[in-house]
Each structure stands twice: as structure tokens, then as C-alpha cells.
Amino acid sequence: MDDYIVRLDGICKSFPGVKALDQVRFRLKAGEVMALLGENGAGKSTLMKILSGIYTKDSGSMTIFGQPIEALTPKRSQELGIAIIHQELNMCRHLTVAENMFLGREKHNGILLSQKAMNEEAARILKSLDIDLDPTTPVGSLQVSKQQMVEIAKALSTNARILIMDEPTSALTSKEIEELFRIIHRLRDEGKGIVYISHRLEELQHIVDRVTILRDGQFILEADFDKISMSEIIANMVGREIKEKFPRVHCEKGKKILEVRNLNAGRMVRDVSFESYEGEILGFAGLMGAGRTETTRAIFGVDPKQSGQIFIDGKEVRITGPADAIRHGLVLAPEDRKKDGLCVKLSIRSNIELPNLDIACNNLGVVRRGLVSEMVAKAKAAFDIRMPNDQVNAGSLSGGNQQKVVVAKWLARESRVVIFDEPTRGIDVAAKVEIYHLMNRLKKQGISVIFVSSEMPEVLGIADRIIVMCDGRITGEMMIQDATQEKILELATRFENKLSIA
């Protein structure tokens, strides 16, 4: 006998039209953190959903804790000690921490719920994890990171011995990530098996013991983390060497296009002034919650401004709503694709058509279908958007392809300034590089690109000039030649001395 607690062999799973998993194998030992890696759509989440009973496999064998398992349901998998923490947090925001933790397996004495017992038990678990939370707080009023802690506590309250985490760090700040890693270490030392899915390869070194790589639904390799290099990992994920992780193109900096003077909009945008030039990528760095997204929203006219001026090509423009901004050639690819960037229930075609209806219609206001088809074809070719056809819902695409659609819809217009807010969040390495290429292409066309990102390496790799924000203010600006991670971090944490205000 070996010490594997999970053995999956020859797992196959098909969805209509797609073979999501093809003869996949997977092994997990007790007391280790296994990274499950692969590009978007490689089948990581599908595999884990099979392990946690959300999907049923088409074929293959599963052995969990030495016990051959045929059919799994979420409930059965929970009983076996498997818990999954989903990428998109799945909590009932109206219910309290304790109510969420015990959802579906409430303690009760026949009829009555044992509210007090559940609260006490929840408090005990939270305390054992060193999480400072009151179990009677409604989950909806917690920060995302705390909600994540609740998910973990919930998983542990089921006495889980196998914990699956799908992109747990994508919404966390670096301090919160440290906190999470501390908890993961501790669980590993207690002998739990942990499956860790993440696109942020740089964080693997802190926690991972072994890696399994999937590509296009197939098993590629399994290795000890310290015996494999990062470039090997990337090469195996994408199936080819990515030569340039951050492709850079050089072009002449042109004239000034956008100038923002003394912009104020709420607490998170205070006295912001900057300018951007033709043929330049201007990076906005900072910690999460530094006010960068709020700044882009205020410029684009989504949120009201209290004061400040915006100049495009030297002329002052009044932007009171997104329609004004678009008319002046200023467009925004927002941070939250599903919420702000796309109409997920509409087709890809309609999404691309939507912001361009003014140019796609004839004088009677009837949409010229030919022109729209042309736009869609152009976008598809330019961005290599992988879709069955342009009538499928935008929401059914993978994250990377959704992002491409968000950007593609602006391509049909003559834009002067394009703002990208966290365009690479939650998408895989190859798709990220495509987004970088896209920004470079816009830059070469003489468009001013503004690139907001919390991931410092990519800002350093792509931007020509970097502005750093902290707490709603611009705390520094530097040319790329002078920029280092340390400098940016120093500026990004330059909080005001709160006492001096009062």
C-alpha cells in the first residue's frame, strides 16, 4: 500500500461539444500541498468538481482514503472529508458566520436548532485558526478576505481531511495572503491534504510541495516542486516556451493627449493630476484599495466628480457620464468583467455591437448587420477569441476570452485613450501575454494606454512610465528606467499620517 489519500486514474468528462478531461490522473498525499496548475480551460476546476461530487465523471476510477468510490455527490464527498473552497466565494451573505459554517448540517435537537451550540462551535474553530471574527456577524458585512477565512473555517468544521482551494488569493491583498498561507501551513502540518489551484505562479514557492500540471484536459506531469524550475512549469502549462513573458515594444513618445488636473471624487480620489502621451503605456501601481479603480471610474464619468478638469488634445472636456467619455475617444475596460465589462447573458456579437451602435446604425437607427458582422470578424481575428460562434452568451466563455471581448468591443472605434483596469486578473499566462501584445499594438497605433494593475512585475514589464497611488492620492511617478519593486512599494505604502489631519 502507498500513502496516497486520493488516487484518480483515467478520469474522463465531456460537456456538450467539449472534452473537458481526457484520461487524467491525480495523486494526493496526506500532509502535503499539491499545486494543480494549467491554463484557463485546462480542466483544473472540472477535475476538482468531480472530486468534490459536483460533477459526475464519465469514466475512470477514484480511490479516496483507500476506498474505491463510484458515484459521488456533494454530500457524500463532504462525509468522506473533502471540502472545496470555490473561486467565486459561495456564501449566503444574509446569514451569519456560524449559520454559513453549519449550512446544510445544522445542529439540532430533533426540531429546534441549537443556535447557541453552533455559535460556540464556530467560535472555537475560528479561534483555533487564530481568526478574529464574531460568529454572529452577517457574512455580507465582512471583507472578501474574511469571507474566505469563513469558507476555510467552514471546510474545517466538516472535519475535512482534503481541502481544495480554487484561486484563493485572487481577491486578497498581500497581507491577507500571508495570513492565508499561515493557515495553509498549519493545516498541512496537521496532516491534511491540500490541493491548491492558482495562476499566480510566483506565490507557489511559499507553500507548495508538489505540482500536477494539466493542459487541454490532459495530464502532463507530476513532480516535486523543488525538482522543477519555474520556466519548466510554464513551458509545460502552455505547451510551448513563452519567450517573452513581458513583450516590450519601443516607439516614439508623441504629443500629450490626456491631462487630468486636480481631480477630486469622493474619499478615494483626492487631488489627482497626471498626463498621458500618445504611444505610451502609463502604468498605475499601488495596493488594492489605493483608489486607482475609483480614479478610472471618475475620469470615465461613472462616478460623480467633485472638482477637477480633464483635457483631451489640449481642449477641456466635460465628462458627466460614460457616453461623454466615449464620444471624446476615452474608453475603459473595467476591473470586474462579469459585472461591469460584459452583458453576460447577451451574445458575444451583441456585446461587441453595444458600445458601437452609434456608428453601426444607418440614419434611420436600424442596425447594419453587415457592418456588425465585420466588426465581430475583425475582433475575433485580432484577438484570437476562441468561441464556437458569435451567438453564444459572453458569460459562457473562459475568463481570458471574456477579457478579450471586453477589450475588443472598443476596438471598432477611433479611441484616443484606452484605460485597462486589472485586465489580467484571473486569466492564464498565455492569455496575459496576448493582452500585453494588444496593449503594445494600441501603443504603436499612437493611442495612449493607461494600465492599472496590482501585480508589480507586469507593471514593471509593460509600462513606460509608472504612477503610484496610495489612499486616494498620487504618491509618486517615475520613468521605467528608474523603477524598481522596492521604490513602488515604498510609494504605495506612503499613507498619510492620520494624526496630522486632526
State the helix-helix crossing angle for 144-157 and 115-128, rounded to 10 degrees: 110
Among 15, 23, 94, 116, the residue binding other proteins under the rule CB under 8 A is 94
Where are any strands of DSSP class E within 188-279?
193-197, 210-215, 218-224, 256-264, 272-277
State the helix-helix crossing angle for 399-411 and 369-383, rounded to 10 degrees: 130
DSSP string, 121-157: HHHHHHHHTT----TTSBGGGS-HHHHHHHHHHHHHH
Is residue 90 near other proteins by the rule CB under 8 A?
yes
Is residue 106 near other proteins by the rule CB under 8 A?
yes
Q: How far is CA 21 from CA 39, 388, 489, in A?
A: 13, 19, 41
Among 59, 108, 240, 477, the residue binding other proteins under the rule CB under 8 A is 108
The interface mask with other proteins, positions 131-150, x = CB under 8 A, is ---x-xxx--x---------
Nearer to other proteins, 31 or 289 (CB): 289
Q: Give residue 407's identity as a one-letter amino acid code.
A: V
Is residue 159 near other proteins by the rule CB under 8 A?
no
Is residue 78 near other proteins by the rule CB under 8 A?
yes
The interface mask with other proteins, positions 31-70, x = CB under 8 A, is -----------------------x----------------
The least distance separating other proteins from the CB of residue 112, rounded to whole angstroms, comes to 5
The least distance separating other proteins from the CB of residue 150, rounded to whole angstroms, comes to 11
The alpha-helical segments, DSSP class H, found in 364-428 are 369-383, 399-411
Rounded to whole angstroms, the Cα distance separating 441 from 433 reads 12
Rounded to whole angstroms, the Cα distance separating 350 from 221 reads 40
In SS3 terms, 94-115 reads as CCEHHHHHCCCCCCEECCEECH
The least distance separating other proteins from the CB of residue 324, rounded to whole angstroms, comes to 22
Is residue 74 near other proteins by the rule CB under 8 A?
yes
Is residue 91 near other proteins by the rule CB under 8 A?
yes
- Say if CB 53 and CB 72 are below 8 A apart: yes
The least distance separating other proteins from the CB of residue 138, rounded to whole angstroms, comes to 7
Rounded to whole angstroms, the Cα distance separating 451 from 248 reads 14
Nearer to other proteins, 84 or 394 (CB): 84
Among 32, 99, 179, 294, the residue binding other proteins under the rule CB under 8 A is 99
Is residue 267 near other proteins by the rule CB under 8 A?
yes
The 8-class DSSP code of residue 304 comes to P
Is residue 273 near other proteins by the rule CB under 8 A?
no
Is residue 393 near other proteins by the rule CB under 8 A?
no
Stretch near other proteins under the rule CB under 8 A, chosen from 28-36, 74-82, 122-130, 409-417: 74-82
Residue 212's DSSP bridge partners are 36, 222
Is residue 124 near other proteins by the rule CB under 8 A?
no
Rounded to whole angstroms, the Cα distance separating 399 from 427 reads 6
The least distance separating other proteins from the CB of residue 74, rounded to whole angstroms, comes to 6
Nearer to other proteins, 99 or 335 (CB): 99
Is residue 262 near other proteins by the rule CB under 8 A?
no
The alpha-helical segments, DSSP class H, found in 190-336 are 204-207, 230-238, 292-300, 322-327
Stretch near other proteins under the rule CB under 8 A, chosen from 83-91, 123-131, 346-354, 382-390: 83-91
Cβ count within 10 A of residue 225 = 18
The least distance separating other proteins from the CB of residue 135, rounded to whole angstroms, comes to 12
Q: Which residues bind other proteins (CB under 8 A)?
A: 54, 74-75, 78, 84, 86, 90-95, 99-100, 103-106, 108, 111-113, 115, 134, 136-138, 141, 267, 501
